[in-house]
Each structure stands twice: as structure tokens, then as C-alpha cells.
Amino acid sequence: MKNIIYILITFLFFTSCKPTNIKTRVVEDFNNDWKFNLSNQKDAFDLNFNDTAWQNINVPHDWSIEQGYTQENSAASTGFVPGGIGWYRKTFKLSSNDKDRTIKILFDGVYNNSEVWINGHFLGKRPNGYSSFSYDLSDYLNFEGNNVIAVKVDRTAYVDSRWYTGSGIYRKVQLIKTAPLHIAQWGIQITTPTVTPDVAEVLITTTLENSKNSSTENLMLKYYVLNEEGKIVSETSEKLENKLKNKNIIKIEKPALWDVENPNLYALKVEVFQNEELIDVTTEKFGIRTFNFDANNGFTLNGKNLKIKGVNLHHDAGAVGTAVPKGIWEYRIDQLKSIGVNAVRMSHNPHSVELMDLCDEKGILVMAEAFDEWFVPKGKSKVYLGDNAAKGEIAKSYPEYFNEWAERDLKDLILRDFNHPSVIMWSIGNEIEWTFPHYSKTFNDVNKKSGAQGYEYTPIYNPETIKAAFNNNIEGEDPLAKTAKQLVAWTKEVDTTRPVTCGSVLPSIGLVSGYGTAVDVFGFNYRAADYDAAHKEYPDLKILGSENWGSYNEWKSINERDFVAGIFTWTGFAYLGEAGPWPRKGLEISFFDYAGFKTPRGHFFECLWVDAPKVYMVTTPASESEFSFNEKDGWKFDMQLTPPPVWNMLRKWEWYKTYPKWKYETNEAIIVQTYTNCEEAELFLNGTSLGKQKRADFTETDNIIKWQVPYKEGELKVVGYNNGKKADEYSLNTTASVSKIEIEATKSELISDGYDVTIINAKLLDDQGNLVTDLDQEIEFKIKGDVNNLGVDNGWEMNVQPHKTNKLVTHYGKAILILQSTKSKGIVEVEAQSKGILSNKITIQVK
């Protein structure tokens, strides 16, 4: 219902701002009717180039996920998908009414090394694949006949990243038509310098652009603030004479504040008049809130302490790669909110406008991050994570362009996302210390131990000791600290209202070098062991867990320390890349897998972060489990995970080896793990109690209630109790063969806009309706009606089946199909079948 209300509110916002003058701003959806070819075509930028044989597509478009997984010309770092050179062309016509307008094309993201032409004229290049950018087409357009925009995307360096990037025009494109004198791109900046319960002062900075040296006389700006009901709650105006920038304060009485529980939004409508004629109008959404980071008390939002419960997110989404519709992001944000997440770190690059909007709408705090690398590249993996075997042209990456482009890329991120109330900090880099060896050497010299991720000891924090060692390892000014200071300065040239942060892996060294003191909030990556020592040595330091293992002790270490603002666990959703060897295409070390199914880790953290009573359990044969039990010593845990091939990871990244089933050999010893926020839990096997245990007995170790049970066929049930009363229960049943397929849709109605999505979840069930998790089989989705199939997935990190199809083998008895509306209305029917079994039929109405 809230989503429906928000759609209506948005409609009111924008219809109330609709201009009547045909020469005012027009923003056209430019996503449809492109041509695509995956090869290095000669002269494909030319107006008259013959592209009739090329593939017809719409953007957003990710050709890497479309091509599918392969071991040839691919790499573990980037998800075992191909790169290459791709060309896009779009033919379009313009009206004679457009002749006197300024016409620009805006790309939200093209990965990467893009070059753009209009009618054969070269407009420019953008190496960064995550930045949004635009070009002015006005001087090269035809108003009688065709126009052709051509885009070359050079992804021949297919190991240019430590994770999956996607390839192509993977975010939306818009054609923007304005009067020559107009509000500049990202030319409205909104801040709220004064906020009280009675009134909020909203400071509006408006920048105009004069693209054709028009007269700047007799200008007037009018401002209107609308609430979520579309009602004007404040307005003002100001005359301008021969200037293109204006600051104005507008007051809002009894402001409705934006926060994580009630993300109230306003809309600012700005009109530009010249000689009393309306020449431009646009609307920006914003929120009113105050926040602060404190060295002793952590984070406050609107004056109230709030522990940040965050996750890191990469910008891909399973079967759709990086061409992610807003509806999928909405589904994912809702999933994260359901387990108590209130913040997202946009790892490690600018993310889509749609995701940023959703964080505003849903009440999610955001760390917006600019870079993973500066001018020194990190190692890239060819076969398996950590081999650093990718060299030469295939690994050429952003550090080649950093010195030339960093300032523009950073400032463009801040300008684009300035008005999002969700954004509470800008991050200038992630784990940059790894690319400067003198940091690791200093750490080793001081501590006589490695500073590699995973250390559990507290390092030395004495500044004099560290400074002496640091100076022995470098001559002159430290290039890392120097660059950090420059990035911070550039950030503050655009925005002084938000703190600057980073993700540091060697904070004890960075605080001496000048890196840690260059930023406002110092982010610690995997360094919970440092919190107390850092706080003691630097009592004015503002500390944040910027990247953390998704483990109980990581959360416990932050939750027990008021001075640590919060946590960003790695990760919210499984992501492609940073894995290997084949077929391990990515990392499922997350709260939700690629398909959006909640993982055991997700259930565990839900019990930590949500108050509603919950109990959940998983099982493992004792012969496979890291846990063991005997009467003399009680429970023991073997820290070292039996490793996947080649990659020997500690448990802190991987979750425990568990299964969502109750089906083993008779009398086989089974470890039962129970995750709960209830005070007690009681285990029953076929109705017989196996004992009640208190969660408090496990909170000093891992917060997991455990039993060792000899397997017997039937029902295993756990019941959670609060104050001695039953609060929740969860059951696992021994399953038979698959006899039924059940499907359901996340949405039964779609909007016929060509973008709306629904996710069809399929489950394999036995004759009692139990999920069958150990008899996976191929299912085929049957789709009737006018709808686009965006792909199928089963959530497994070893799944290298094609996504762009209607059939696949399930994993743990589950799979999904993603459907997207077209611009046609009607009825869509979906069924699934497997081995002669036909599912229920579901109907989706496209309106």
C-alpha cells in the first residue's frame, strides 16, 4: 500500500510541475530502439553506416550477462564473463520546434571507456564506467531527416576490476531539451542548515547555464515546496540581473523529518522566468534531517542515537547483471529492510540513480563511495581469488586514468547525488593501503606480524613508534596521504554538509601518515580488534565499521561500543566476481543469495536486528560440521573451514556449513543450529522434547543454540519462548520425492511502462507440501502473454547455467523467473513444469 501511495504522490509532484510552455524543459526516455553489435566495427560512428543487420535492443543493456558464463577470455575477478568491444547506435528524428533549444544526452552509466558521436561528430570519451555524464548535441543536429547517436564501449580489458562490472550501456539514457538559458545539470543543491520542530530553513543554491550566450536580463526564479500530498507548503521568488547563480532560503513550518522509520520527502519545484515568460522548470525531491557523528557517542539522526546496521552492496543483481530495473532494487531493499538493515555502503563506486532514489523513499542511510583504486592498481585474479595473475592489456584499469579524471568523477558523483537525504557521507576510497607497500611494511616492522585481513590481535597504536618505522620506509611526503587530502579538498569544494570517510585496512598506520586525519570519519575494514586501542590513543577520532565480516562477534564488538557509529557487513546480496576457480562465479557470503533467497546468515542477523520473535534452524552431519560436542568439554569450534579448492578462507567470510533439511542416515549424528532472538528454545523430534536451552548461555561465544541429535525420520521442530510463553516455532520435515511444483509472484499487477517487474518464485514440494531441498531437477517456465523474460536464477554461486532462458536446474529446490512489462496491457499467465509435473497457474495483470 505504501508503494501505491508513493506512486500517487510522485504523480502529484510532477503533474503539479508540468510546464505549459513548449519551450521549457522536456526530458525524454531515450532507452528504446537501439542497435547493438559486439565487435570492433570500422566507421560505425558514421551517420550513414549500415546497421540493419545489428541486434535490436533496448537499454539498459549488459552484454556480459547476456553472453553467459565461459572459461574462455574471462576471469575469476570479473565473474567468468566475456568483455570485448561493443557498438550502440540509435536513429532518431527531431521536430522543427526543437531548433532553438539546447539538446543534451545524459548517460547514467556506460561500462566502460565509452566514446560518443552524434551524426559522425565526436563528442568525447569517459573512461570511468560508473560515472553519469552528458554531452551537448545542439550544434550537430539535423532537424530535417535522421540523427544518429553512436557509442563505442571498449571492454577489451576484461579483468579490469576485482568484481563483476557488466559491459555496455547498462543504465538509463535520457534526451534533455531546454531553452538555451536553463538550470544546469545537477544545478540545484538543497541543504537544511537549521531544523527545529517548529521550522526548517531550506537553503537552495541554483546554478543556471547559458549555452548560447543569451541575454541574462530580467530573470526571476520562483520556488515552491510541495509535501507528500502534493500541497504547496512554502514558496518564494527572487529577481536576478546578469548572474547565473543564486542562493535563497525558504522556510517550512512544522517540518516532517526524514528518518529510517518515516522517510518523509518534499519536492522543490523551481521555475525560471525571463521577461515574465517561463523558460525552464524542474523538480527535485529532498528530505529534512539532521545527523552527526561523535567520537564518543557514535551516530545520531535528528538528535537521536542510532546504531548503523549496514551492508555493502555491489551494483549487480544476479540474472540481470548490472542492467538492473528499479523494481528489482526495490525488492532487494525491501528484503534488507525486513531483516533490520538501515544503511547501505555503495561498494565501491557510484551506483544507479534508481537505487539512490529508493534509499530516499525507503529510509536507508547511504555511504556513497567514489573509488576502489587510485593511481596504483590492485591485483586482479585470472583463475581464482588471490592469484593476481591478470597482467597487461587485459587488466588495464581505472588507475591509468585516475590522475586525469579523478576530480571530475568525484565531483560529478557528489553533484548528482547531492540532494539525496539518504546520503550521510562521501567515501573517497576503499582499502587503498594495499596498493602502497610501505604501509604493510611499516605495520610488519612495528608489530612483527602481518597486517593481512584476518588478524585478531590488537596492533601497536603508539604514534611515535609507528612514525619512526614509517619514516624509515618512505622518503618525502606520503603519496597516499597527499592524494587523500586532495580528494577531501575536492569533496568539500562541492559539499561541506556531509563528512568524508574511507575504508581503511591499516588504520594504525593511516592515523600517523595523515590518511586517517584527512577524513572526517575513519572507516575500519575488518579491524574490530583495533577499536579500543584507536579510541584510547585518538579520543577525538570518529570511528565507523566500514566493512565487516557478517559474524556475531563483529556485531557484538560494535554494539557494545557507543563510540563506534555502526557496521557495514560484507555483503547484503551475493555478487558476481571476486571468486573462482570455475565454476565458482562469485561470492555468496551474504544475507541474501543471487536470486534473493534469504541465507542462514540472513536469518541469523534478522534475529540480531529485528525485535519480532523469531526462531530458525539448519542442520549439518557431525562429520561435516565445524562444531563438535562431548560431555566433558561441551561445544568446540574448529575455526579453519575445510577449504574450497585453492581458496583457503577463514570462517569469518564463509558461513557455517549447513543444510536446510531433515533427511539423513538413521542414527547419524546431526548438529542442529538454532538462530533466535527469543530467551529460550526447545527442540522436539517427532513430538518428544530434546531439551530447552537458554540463549544467554551462548551469547558470549556465537549466539547459536546447538544440539547434537541422532537422526530419525519425521519432524524436527524448534520452539522459541519469551517469559516462558511460546513466541515462535520452525519445523523441518523428512521429505519424500517431488510431487508438486508451487509458484508465486512478488507482484500480481504490473504497470505497462516497459520497466515494471515481478519475480516468480518456484519451489519443489513433496506430497505433504514440504520443500524438497535434496532432489534438484530442471524446471521449465511457460509464459503466455506480452511480457519480457529478463532471466532465470537459482541463487547458487556455482550456477553457470544461462540466465537468458526459461529453464534451469533448481538449487535447494528453488528457482526464480524475472518478468518485465512491455508497453502493452493485458493478462500474463505463468506455469512451471518438470518431469511431467505441472505447477499451479498464476495470472499477472498488466495495466
Q: How many residues does the chain have?
A: 847
CA distance 840 to 463: 67
* Residues 298-331: tens digit of each pLDDT: 999 999 999 999 999 999 999 999 999 999 999 9
**What is the rounded CA–CA span in Å between residue 62 and residue 110?**
10
Q: What is the CA radius of gyration of the chain?
A: 28
Mean pLDDT, residues 6-31 taken together: 62
pLDDT value of residue 456: 77
Q: Is 22 exposed, middle or buried (0-12, 13-18, 19+ CB in 10 A)?
A: exposed
Residues 707-765 have pLDDT tens digits of 999 999 999 999 999 999 999 999 999 999 999 999 999 999 999 999 999 999 999 99
Structure confidence at residue 627 (pLDDT) = 86
Long-range CB pairs of 463-470 (<8 Å, 24+ gap) are 463/511, 463/512, 463/537, 466/442, 466/508, 466/509, 466/512, 467/512, 469/442, 469/445, 470/438, 470/442, 470/509, 470/512, 470/513
Kindly report the number of other CB atoms within 10 A of residue 459's CB atom: 20
d(CA 39, CA 46): 16
Quick: pLDDT tens for 242-299.
889 999 999 999 999 999 999 999 999 999 999 999 999 999 999 999 999 999 999 9
pLDDT digits (tens, 9 = 90+) for 536-573: 999 999 999 999 999 999 999 999 999 999 999 999 99
CA–CA dist 178, 184 (Å, integer): 10
**Is pLDDT at 808 greater than 60 in this prediction?**
yes
**Segment holding 358, helix H or strand E:** helix 353-362
CA distance 629 to 635: 5
In 681-737, alpha helices (H)? none
Q: Give counts: helices (H), strands (E), the chain.
A: 13, 49
Contact 594, 588 (CB under 8 A): yes
Average pLDDT, the chain: 94
Q: What are 752's three cell numbers?
A: 505497462
Mean pLDDT to the nearest integer, 408-419 = 98
pLDDT score recorded for residue 389: 86
User: What does the pLDDT look like over 38-69, one tens digit per residue?
Assistant: 999 999 999 999 999 999 999 999 999 999 99
Residue 214 clears pLDDT 90, i.e. is over it: no
Q: Give the pLDDT confidence score for residue 78 in this predicted structure.
A: 96
Q: Is residue 1 pLDDT above 60, yes or no?
A: no
What pLDDT band is residue 22 in, cutting at 50, 70 and 90?
A: low
- Cell numbers placing 157: 580489458
Assess contact for 152 and 127: CB atoms under 8 A: no
* Band of pLDDT at residue 637, cut at 50, 70 and 90: confident
pLDDT in tens, 571-620: 999 999 999 999 999 989 999 999 999 999 999 999 999 999 999 999 99
Burial 149-180 (b: 16+ CB within 10 A, else e): bbbbbbbebbbbbbbbbbbbbbbbbebbbbbb
Query: Is the pLDDT score of 651 beyond 60?
Result: no
pLDDT at 634 over 90: no
Q: Say what the pLDDT of residue 628 is.
A: 84
The DSSP symbol for 697 reads G
pLDDT at 454: 64
Cis peptide before 581 (omega within 30 of 0): yes
Determine the angle formed by the axes of helices 600-609 and 552-559, rounding to 10 degrees. 20
3-state secondary structure of 786: coil
Q: DSSP 3-state assignment of 738?
A: coil
Provide the percentage of residues in the chain whose pLDDT is more than 90.
Answer: 90
Are the CB atoms for 349 and 370 separated by under 8 Å? Answer: yes
- Tell me the C-alpha distance between 771 and 810, whole Å: 12
